[in-house]
Every structure is written in structure tokens, then in C-alpha cells.
Copies of this chain bind each other. A is one copy, B any other.
């Protein structure tokens, strides 16, 4: 690890540098990383643009092989990668090992997607030369890549939502060159993974502009990347303020571009009456486990829980309190995130309507967060809309509702969410059915009898949802459909077969599935 960033195949050093910080000890760690300048952004984008046509028209098998090569090379890094990520994030080994598996699984899923072929959306209207009053031409639709994509690494998943994470995997699969702006909290992890992708580009004989990796701490770096005219889409996972800033830059360009920002969610969990009566204690334990997972730094952390007020809800709270009492403090990803969490708790603690139900074991080390559970009456929650703002970390509010109608009205007042969860038994079925339309309008994923943390990487997954959960509810950032974000349809009318791309040729050499009208 030499502290350089990547402009295509070239490792570049600059005078200005920064270091990562070990959040457990609060000290800077070696080496220094060069900070990319505006001219580096421009050069990375120029290379990406020049690589675009070749990369998008590569045989899908070759692009699939490239993704698999990246996955193999990430695995070949072995402990070096996991240990650097541990040092930079404070996350434990088991979690990072699991996250690595998820990341390589993601790359391999997209390799399968490319071979299977539905991604190209091939649709054919054969010519109808005899049709009256006018013949129909031969019309063939396929989807092609949008263009070079800017990807922002996220702090909370240094592998799965970072340099070779979901956005990068989906964009590369679509045929888009990628310029990554690494998250400054884990520059070393980013550099290790970035070098792997660069090597895979070389091994697979691809144009070097397919991948570049920029490093730096200033927002201005990301801003100039999104503003570059050669960038055609943006993938981002992070704060609401960060996502909104990128959306504004993308919209202000002479050519506006789509921004896929996954931003803010409090992922409501609803405790239906029969389920609560039946298993309040188990639910309380499950809640505490989901709440504290990864120091509460999951996008789908259960930020609010809703139930009918009464003795069953008190049993639930008592169980959660007991579980939380034994929850050890956990190091948060950065001093900034820890500071924001403390500020968020301060706002909650200052609200006299909120009752403190439970606390985790207090932190003693650097950036160590203790979990918190609060409770509040639904009417008070509705009177304090600021309580629905995400507090990123292991904190949650349980809302005591007097009726299911009041519970529904609280959910109706929420903004868009990544998930909505029903804890329910058979006896709750009718009531759950009446809530379902509301949950569908509010969230991208609806769960029964699970906790929202943990996102399967598969074909049917939706990790998205109405604003502000994401900037674009029509998409997902996890799962096979994530490739759709980086594609656009093109129709070919009466082109000679020799001129048609392979996906559309009459003989269908790629053997892609096609809808023929």
C-alpha cells in the first residue's frame, strides 16, 4: 500500500495527503494517502469516457469474467484486507469476513445476470409489410449502458457498499466505466480493493479507463466529479445532507443526470396485537439484537417500533431492557459519526415527552456508543416531527399507540422508508391486511416476522424506497435489479442484420431471452 490513488492503470501521488484514523484508539494510521485534485477528476472522467463504447459492447461473457476475476482477487487478498478494514472501521473480524463474502457474492450474482440476459430487455416487433394502412417496420429494443458512473464509497460498509460494492458491481455489469470516490474513513481498504480492480482490468485486457479510484476528504472532490460532463449517473449511500447536495449538483448541470442516493430511513417495525401477546419477550430480545447490530450503523436499523400500549408492550420493553443491559458498547465508524450520535441522543434526552426505557453498557473507550431505547405516546410523537429524523446509531423509539387506527396515522405521517416490518401471528391477518396498502406506499421492502437489518443479495430484493429513503424510488441498490439503474433503452428500426448488436440479431447468438410481440 503506497498511498497513491488510481487514474486508470496509473498510480498517482500528490503533495497533499491525509491519513486514516483508527476509531478504536483515535489515532492516525499509516500510510499517508495522496489527495486527488480537480485535474485528476477530469483525467479519470476522460479515460472513463474513452473506455465507454468499447466496454459496453464487450461480449457479456467477457464482462462476467471480469466481475468474477475481481471477486477472486478480493478473496486472494486474504487477511490483509480484513485487518486493514478492521483497523479503519473498528468493525469486528467476523462481520468484515461476512461482508467480504457478500461483496464477492454480489459480483458473481451480476456475472450470472449478464449470462442470463434478461438485463438487456430484448423486445422485438417483427416487420408487418402487409399491414394496412401502413406497414410496420422491424423494431428491436435492447438496453445499453448510460455512460461513466461516479460511485461514492459508504462509511458503514467498507466492502459491500464501497469500492467494489453494489453500485460498482451493478454499473460495471451494465457496461459503465466507474470512477470511485473512496470514503475518507477507510482509504487503505479502498486502495487495496481498488488495486485489485485495476489488476483485473489489465488481466482481462480491458481499456484502463474502465476503473479509477480517487481519494480525498473534501466535499469539493465529490462535487467536481458529479459535475463533470462525462459522468452520466451517480451512486451514493450516506447521509441525507450528502445525498441532497449531490442531487442539487446533478440537477444544475447543463445535462442533468440521475443520482441514486440511498440516504435516510428509520425502518418502522409494527408489533401486531396477537404477536405481541404471544411472544413479547422474544420480540424484545430480537429488537435489542437488531438495534445493536454493527453498532446500529445499518441502513435498515429499526429506528421506531409501534405497538398498542398496555401490559404486553411493557413486557416487550422489559425484555428489550434486559437484553440491552448486557449489550456491550461498540466502537462507531468515525469520530464524526460518534459525535452525531451523541448529538442525536442529546436532542432525544432533551425531549420531556420521551421516556428512557433502556441503556446499553456505557462506553469507556474512544467513540464507543451505548444503545438507547426510548418510549413515547403516539400523540406526543406526532406533535414532535423532529423525532422521526434518523439518529444514525443504536437508538430507537417505541411508540405507544391507543389503537391500530392511531398506529396507522403515525405511519401515514412518516416519510419514505427502506423497510416496513410486521411482527404478526395468524390472528393479526385481517388487521395486517388493512395496513398493507399504507406500508406499500411508504417502503421498498415489507417484512413479516423478521428484523429489517440484513439485506439478502438476490433477484427479488429491493433496497430502496420513497424519498428520503432514496432519491429514486424506482430503483434498488441491492440485488440483481440494481443493474437497471445504469441502463437506457434504444430502439433499432429496420437495421440490416449485419448492423444489429448481437443481442438483437435474428439468429440471437447470445441466446438472450426475448419478448417477441
Minimum CB–CB distance for A110 against chain B, Å: 14
The complex places the Cα of A429 from the Cα of B498 at a distance, in Å, of: 8
Q: How far is the CB of A304 from chain B (nearest CB, A)?
A: 19
**B124 lies within 8 A of A255 (CB):** no
B139 touches A460 (CB 8 A): yes
- Contact across chains for B458 and A493 when beta carbons are under 8 A apart: no
CA separation between A134 and B456, bound complex, in Å? Answer: 10
A383 within 8 A of B: no
Within A119-133, which residues are at the interface with B (CB < 8 Å)? 121, 123-125, 133
Asked if residues A125 and B459 are in contact (CB atoms below 8 Å), the reply is: yes
C-alpha gap A491/B494 in the complex (Å) = 38
Looking at the complex, which one of B251, B437, B499 makes contact with A53 (CB distance below 8 Å)? B437
Asked whether A473 lies within 8 Å of B517 as measured between CB atoms, the reply is no
The interface residues of chain B lying within 8 Å CB-to-CB of A459 are: 123-125, 139, 141, 515, 517
Q: How far is the CB of A467 from chain B (nearest CB, A)?
A: 5
Contact status A456-B139, CB under 8 Å: yes
User: Complex formed: what's the CA distance from A261 to B491 in Å?
Assistant: 19
Chain A 73-96 near chain B by CB (<8 Å), digits 1 or 0:
000000000000000000000000
How far apart are the CA atoms of A467 and B25 in the complex, in Å?
49
Bound Cα distance A517, B109 (Å)? 11
User: What separation, in Å, do the CA atoms of A426 and B437 have in the docked complex?
Assistant: 56
- Chain B binder among A305-313, A338-346, A355-363, A440-448: A440-448
Asked whether B460 lies within 8 Å of A123 as measured between CB atoms, the reply is yes
Known: A137-B450, A429-B498, A460-B517. A258 touches B472 (CB 8 A): yes
Number of this chain's copies in the complex: 2
Q: Which of A187-238 contact B (CB under 8 A)?
A: none
Q: Tell me whether A31 is interfacial, beta carbon within 8 Å.
A: no
CB-CB under 8 A from A458, the residues of chain B are 125, 136, 139, 517
Of A36-44, A326-334, A481-489, the one touching chain B: A481-489
Q: Is the CB of B462 within 8 A of A489?
A: yes
A268 at the interface (CB under 8 A from B): no
Does A464 lie at the interface of the complex (its beta carbon under 8 Å from any beta carbon of B)? Answer: yes
State whether the Cβ of A290 lies closer than 8 Å to any Cβ in chain B.
Answer: no
A386-441 interface (Cβ within 8 A of B) = 415-416, 422, 426, 429, 432-433, 436-437, 440-441
Residues of B contacting A297 in the complex (Cβ-Cβ under 8 angstroms):
none
Question: Does A461 make an interface contact (CB < 8 A)?
Answer: yes
Which chain B positions have C-beta within 8 A of A468? 255
Contacts of A125 in B (CB 8 A): 456, 458-461
A98: B residues at CB distance < 8 A: 133
Do residues A490 and B462 form an inter-chain contact, with CB atoms below 8 A?
yes
Interface contacts beyond A446-B492, A448-B499, A476-B491: sample of 7 additional A-B pairs, CB < 8 Å, sorted by A:
A124-B460, A125-B456, A258-B472, A429-B496, A444-B488, A444-B489, A460-B491
Chain B residues contacting A136 (CB-CB under 8 Å) are 456, 458
Q: Which residues of B contact A139 (CB under 8 A)?
A: 456, 458-461
A429 to B495, CA, bound (A): 10
A467 partner, pick from B255, B416, B454, beta carbons under 8 A: B255
Which of A256, A429, A487 has the most C-beta atoms of chain B within 10 angstroms of its own C-beta?
A: A256
Question: With an 8 A cutoff between CB atoms, is A294 at the interface?
Answer: no
**Do the beta carbons of B445 and A462 come within 8 Å of each other?**
no
